[in-house]
Chain A
Amino acid sequence: MKALKLIAFGIMMVAAQGCYTVLWTPDVALPTKDQSENDDSYYDEPYYGDYNPYYERPWWYSIPPPQRLIIPTSERTAQEAKIRNGNSPDRGVPERQDQPVINVGRPTVDQPSTTSPVTTPPTTTNDSSTKKTESTPPQREKGNTTNSRDTRNNDGSRSSDPPRR
């Protein structure tokens, strides 16, 4: 009983001081290595080699931050849109699965015969913008295309590629 009181006291002390730990929430970007303030690495690289990242590098550092590229939509052509939305071989399924898919809310077209020859990747079947881009000329509304681009550019497989524009 005495021990339980002691624990309760400890918890109260911590609660009273406020918690040091601040959790990440989806409305902010994941913290990166550059933003890290903790330099108390117990496994310094010179002495521990690869054990340093094994112990010290948070797993969320490997998730690339979203790239907010401003791409002038007026210069885009229908052909570029097809390429971007197509099933290019370097955009494999695994990388894309981790990325959020934002439905840009474009109107649905239920006519398969109008679909472009470019095959839609299986993992993006819930992205109606992908399907429909090929069915109609790329007359994008500004707000929607911005969201759509952010989503696609968030793809981990492309994070190291130089921006196209």
Chain B
Amino acid sequence: MKILKVLLLLIFILPLALQSQTIGDALRVTESGLGVGARALGMGNAYNGISDDASAMYFNPAGLGLIKRLEVAGGLDYFNYGNNATLFNNKTNYSSSSTNFSQISFVFPFPTLQGSLVFGMSYNKNKDFTSALKFDGFNIGSNSMIQDLEVAKTPTDDQSYKNSVPYNLFLSDDNGNVSVINGKLNQSGTTLQEGGLDSWTFSGAMEVSKNLFVGGSINVNSGTFKSNREYYEDDTKGVYANLETAPGNAFTTNFTTFYRNDILDWEISGWDLKLGTMYQLSKIARFGATIQFPKTFSIKETYTFDAHSEFGSSIVDLPSDLKDYYSDKVEYDITTPFVLTGAASVNVKGLILSGEATLTDYSQTEFSNPKGISTSYFASVNKSMKESLRAVAAINVGLEYTIPQVGVRIRGGFMSQPSPYKGDPSDFDKKYLTGGVGFLADETFAIDVAYAHGWWKTYGDNYGTNVSRVDQEIATDKMLVTFSYRF
């Protein structure tokens, strides 16, 4: 009976060991994107203290109350993610890009005798998941993914090893021990990620006292995420050319390659609420504050796993029943923490200076409601997030100068999003330099263009901790164009 319990536990845990929900999964939907408005992006997204166009629904819904004309707006963005990865001193560049509608919005201010009441509706592309990674390096150490996946026969469990990947690919002995392969393999791979978070936003704002506005946005969120990871370990130096990786099986004498492929597919849904307030101090300044209530994203996850090994001219595929065994469909929720923002803008003779600070305590991020995943596993990941993540304050600053004679506005900005991981140095903070320009025609039609260049460092472990680490220097480029027409 005891053996049966252990078996059941291992059967349940094994797939998790291959690809389980990670802190990175939680941060994917928790960390904010680059916004939806070109004017805002040009000013480093320091926009909570301005927010007087349709993108107020995204930044500070109270700012909608400042809009006095009917507005229709739309936007298109181009995003490129470049990754300069280093594995064992070997650098590899890789990139991926995407083009999306960033925003389609409509704003309707009610006619008022005094004050303001404004409603709006918008589709926003809140975040782009596009990313890319390619690495290639020779690991001289005595470790490998193959060894990391080893499940050996034990006195209390003489069955689990039969489901292990190395055993089924003839990379271990008959007891599941990876006894021959001992590192010294070339490790390479690619990871391509795509998708994004969208929302349908319904907003309203009102002037509750002279120059004091309050507003709220309800976001109905949806999205997709797809990750395709291919990983190779190759015996490029012929270390195992004359050894049987599965002793007793002669065809395994010429091991050349181990390959695994992980495909992760998410369907994301959920809703959230954001409240904001804004005070305009005469013609001089505006002050804004927002509360983003915790978002709950429901994730429907499909995970597909495949692997094979190559020996000279032979290829051993993972049996189809084991592919199914390791692949799975699960559901769970990710709840993000509160996000608090304080902002101000100052207006001096055509020059607007704007700044804001946003507090996010990432350690409050949680996985919950597992279906097909053990509750205890989520408890351990949540504990790990509490211990590994921290509260950070993101800073955004920006400026805009209007040249009234020609109806042109020029902008610049900077934003810093500190790494949510405890102990990360400052070069792991995401930093963006932004710029933009705006044109106005006939007092009604505005075109704004923004460009943002971002850079930061990060790393990822192929397995274990710091034994096959890919150091990454990320550089992103985003171009955003927004059109708006005011009636």
A residues engaging B (CB < 8 A)?
Answer: 3, 7, 10, 14, 17, 19-24, 28, 30-31, 37, 40-51, 53-60
Q: How far is the CA of A17 from the CA of B206 in the complex (A)?
A: 14
6 contacts between A and B (CB under 8 A): A21-B207, A23-B111, A24-B110, A37-B114, A50-B440, A51-B409
Q: From residue 98 to 140 of chain B, which have CB atoms closer than 8 A to chain A?
A: 109-117
Across the interface, do B117 and A47 meet the contact criterion of CB distance under 8 Å?
no
Q: Select which of B280, B283, B443 is within 8 A of A44 by beta carbon.
A: B283
Smallest Cβ-Cβ distance to A44: which chain B residue:
B283
| Given A24-B110, A50-B440, A56-B68, A42:B207 Cβ within 8 A | no
Q: Select which of B110, B211, B338, B443 is within 8 A of A23 by beta carbon.
A: B110
Q: How far is the CA of A24 from the CA of B111 in the complex (A)?
A: 5
| Given A3-B291, A23-B117, A42-B280, A58:B440 Cβ within 8 A | no
Q: How far is the CA of A40 from the CA of B210 in the complex (A)?
A: 10
Q: How far is the CA of A136 from the CA of B338 in the complex (A)?
A: 73
Interface size on B, residues (CB 8 A): 45
Other A-B contacts than A20-B209, A43-B402, 18 sampled, CB-CB below 8 A, are: A3-B291, A3-B293, A14-B208, A19-B115, A19-B206, A23-B112, A24-B110, A24-B113, A40-B280, A48-B404, A50-B407, A50-B440, A50-B442, A51-B407, A51-B440, A54-B443, A54-B486, A59-B70
Q: How far is the CA of A58 from the CA of B487 in the complex (A)?
A: 9
Across the interface, do A49 and B209 meet the contact criterion of CB distance under 8 Å?
no
Across the interface, do A49 and B407 meet the contact criterion of CB distance under 8 Å?
yes
Tell me the minimal C-beta distance from A79 to chain B in angstroms.
Answer: 39
Tell me the minimal C-beta distance from B440 to chain A in angstroms.
Answer: 5
Q: How far is the CA of A59 from the CA of B110 in the complex (A)?
A: 9
Q: Which residues of B contact A14 (CB under 8 A)?
A: 208, 214
B residues engaging A (CB < 8 A)?
Answer: 52, 66, 68-70, 109-117, 206-212, 214, 275, 280, 282-283, 286, 291, 293, 338, 347, 349-350, 402, 404-405, 407, 409, 440, 442-444, 446, 486-487
Q: Which residues of B contact A40 (CB under 8 A)?
A: 211, 280, 282-283
Across the interface, do A58 and B283 meet the contact criterion of CB distance under 8 Å?
no
Q: Which residues of A contact B350 (CB under 8 A)?
A: 47-48
Q: How far is the CA of A27 from the CA of B68 in the complex (A)?
A: 21
Q: Select which of B114, B293, B405 is within 8 A of A21 by beta carbon.
A: B114
Across the interface, do A57 and B407 meet the contact criterion of CB distance under 8 Å?
no
Q: Which residues of A contact B409 (CB under 8 A)?
A: 51
Smallest Cβ-Cβ distance to A49: which chain B residue:
B404
Q: How far is the CA of A96 from the CA of B319 in the complex (A)?
A: 74
Q: Which residues of A contact B405 (CB under 8 A)?
A: 49
Q: Which residues of A contact B338 (CB under 8 A)?
A: 3
Across the interface, do B52 and A22 meet the contact criterion of CB distance under 8 Å?
no
Q: Select which of A23, A43, A53, A54 is within 8 A of B113 by beta carbon.
A: A23
Q: Which residues of B contact A31 (CB under 8 A)?
A: 111-113
Q: Which residues of A contact B407 (CB under 8 A)?
A: 49-51
Q: Select which of B52, B210, B293 is within 8 A of A20 by beta carbon.
A: B210
Interface centre among A24, A47, A60, by most chain B C-beta atoms within 10 angstroms, is: A47
Across the interface, do B68 and A55 meet the contact criterion of CB distance under 8 Å?
yes
Q: How far is the CA of A39 from the CA of B69 in the complex (A)?
A: 17
Across the interface, do A49 and B402 meet the contact criterion of CB distance under 8 Å?
yes
Q: How far is the CA of A49 from the CA of B446 in the complex (A)?
A: 13
Tell me the minimal C-beta distance from B115 to chain A in angstroms.
Answer: 3
Smallest Cβ-Cβ distance to A10: which chain B residue:
B214
Tell me the minimal C-beta distance from A43 to chain B in angstroms.
Answer: 8
| Given A49-B407, A58-B69, A24:B112 Cβ within 8 A | yes
Interface centre among A3, A23, A57, by most chain B C-beta atoms within 10 angstroms, is: A23
Q: How far is the CA of A59 from the CA of B52 in the complex (A)?
A: 15
Q: Which residues of A contact B109 (CB under 8 A)?
A: 58-59
Q: How far is the CA of A49 from the CA of B403 in the complex (A)?
A: 8
Tell me the minimal C-beta distance from A66 to chain B in angstroms.
Answer: 15
Across the interface, do B207 and A20 meet the contact criterion of CB distance under 8 Å?
yes
Across the interface, do B208 and A21 meet the contact criterion of CB distance under 8 Å?
yes
